[in-house]
Amino acid sequence: MIRPPGFEGVVFGTATWGDLRRDHQARADVSAELGLPSDWAYLNQVHGVTVSVVDGGGNHGDGDALVTSQRLVPLMVATADCVPVAIEADGAIALVHAGWRGAAAGVLPAALSVLRRKGFVPLRAAIGPSIGPCCYEVGEDVAALFPGNQATTTWGTTSVDIPGFLAGQLSGIVTWRSDACTFTELEMCSWRRDRSDERQVTVAWLPAR
Ligand SMILES: [Zn+2]
């Protein structure tokens, strides 16, 4: 697991955990290790901009961002190349799933605006492992959506830097960014690499006082 330095309740899991969306024993084990309840809040991720404000665990329907102000309610998103982003705020936590569609549609600013509207001040953000600009080959149509964040793969084709784009939406917030590329790091799930439905999870929570 990856614990970004300075964060209180953010853990980026790897494939070595198994797929915690469906492996309930593994989820219980990880929960025990982290000192958390095993009833995690999650969504049916649909690459949109819906932000769900939750008070407890379980499935909260379609959406791509979770916010809670309840302590010790673990939030989970599952990814394999898409970008998990956790935001620690004063009195709340947010967790976002952003692939290129969600990023382009504005899921991260949507989550920030929910936090701020509810009076919570974002303190720091962590951008977890995802497919990097080194490997995220896209067509010109997708590249055109990210004009300042176009890049080139290691094999010389057009790519985009989605975590870089998201970092740009976090201006004014101290941001940590993983340098792990899911496509090349074999302990991470990568849909592009394996065409598998296995996912790693990110867990974020507001700690006990
Ligand atoms: Zn890469």
Cα–Cα distance measured from residue 105 to residue 145, given in angstroms and rounded to the nearest whole number = 10
Do residues 68 and 53 touch, judged by C-beta distance below 8 A?
yes
Rounded to the nearest angstrom, the distance between the alpha carbon of 130 and the centre of ligand 1 is 9
Task: Quickly tell me which residue has 């998201």 as its tokens.
Answer: 166
- For residue 102, give the CATH number of its domain: 3.60.140.10
The answer as to whether 23 is a domain residue is yes
Q: How many domains does the chain have?
A: 1
Rounded to the nearest angstrom, the distance between the alpha carbon of 189 and the centre of ligand 1 is 13
In 3D space, the residue among 115, 125, 128 whose CA is nearest the CA of residue 53 turns out to be: 115
pLDDT tens-place values along the chain, 209 residues long: 999 999 999 999 999 998 999 899 999 999 999 999 999 999 999 999 999 999 999 999 999 999 999 999 999 999 999 999 999 999 999 999 999 999 999 999 999 999 999 999 999 999 999 999 999 999 999 999 999 999 999 999 999 999 999 999 999 999 999 999 999 999 999 999 999 899 999 999 999 98
Cα–Cα distance measured from residue 88 to residue 82, given in angstroms and rounded to the nearest whole number = 20
The answer as to whether 2 is a domain residue is no
The answer as to whether 193 is a domain residue is yes
Name the amino acid, one letter, at 107: V
Task: Quickly tell me which residue has 């394999």 as its tokens.
Answer: 80
Give this prediction's pTM.
0.97
The answer as to whether 158 is a domain residue is no
The answer as to whether 18 is a domain residue is yes
